[in-house]
Amino acid sequence: MACQASATSAVAHIVALSGLDADLSSPFCYAVSHGYTERLLAESGCSVSIARASVYSEFFIGFLARARASGQLRLPASDGRISLVSRGDVARCLAALAVAPASGRHHDITGPQSLSLASVAALAAREWGTPLQYVDIPPREHCVEMAIAGEDPWWMYAYSTMSHRSGNNAGRRSPMRSIA
């Protein structure tokens, strides 16, 4: 609806916030919604610039804070890598795109480094001065742990779609697999 309204209202430039894994065939739920949004924008005929942001560092700190209590960052990411980016950096990129001419393409916004979760845990341990290690767990075990912790079912579903390690999901991009 918003894409159609923009096209009929002669909006000069749409700057859209998307995600790095914008892909209709991805098992990650947000990747699919971002993929559909990008497709609608492309079909709208509007001038666009799309910012594809990595995982927010402010979001991921929640995983680290919970892990600090147990000393273990327990996630189903195998040897995946992540490039955390701050919301402030994303906001600055969006502002720069808004004042520039429409690019007609996507722009990946990542943090300065692509790190394994073991490296992220080591950095947090060094910063806090407390032991913290990354423990790779199967996606099912992660869901059970989230349920025991009282996580909202929607978030359990969303988090469970981030890890693509088995079945027909193997090898596909995911925020917890190859954000770089």
Mean pLDDT across the stretch 50-73? 95
Neighbours of 45 (CB within 10 A): 10
Mean pLDDT across the stretch 121-146? 94
pLDDT for position 115: 95
Residue 118 has pLDDT above 70, yes or no: yes
**Which of 118, 116, 119, 97 is CA-nearest to residue 106?**
97
Is 82:19 a contact under the CB 8 Å cutoff? Answer: no
Q: Domain map of the chain by residue range?
A: 2-169
pLDDT for position 166: 37
Q: Max alpha carbon distance in the chain (Å)?
A: 57
Mean pLDDT across the stretch 53-65? 94
Is 69:75 a contact under the CB 8 Å cutoff? Answer: no
Q: Mean of the per-residue pLDDT values for the chain?
A: 86
pLDDT for position 5: 62
Cα separation of 38 and 131, whole Å? 42
**H/E segment holding residue 166:** none
Mean pLDDT across the stretch 111-126? 96
**DSSP structural state of residue 102:** P
Fold observed for domain 2-169: Rossmann fold (3.40.50)
Does the pTM exceed 0.85?
no
Is 176:82 a contact under the CB 8 Å cutoff? Answer: yes
pLDDT for position 89: 97
Where are any strands of DSSP class E within 124-178? 133-136
**Which of 115, 120, 102 is CA-nearest to residue 51?**
102
Cα separation of 134 and 25, whole Å? 29
Is 73:132 a contact under the CB 8 Å cutoff? Answer: yes
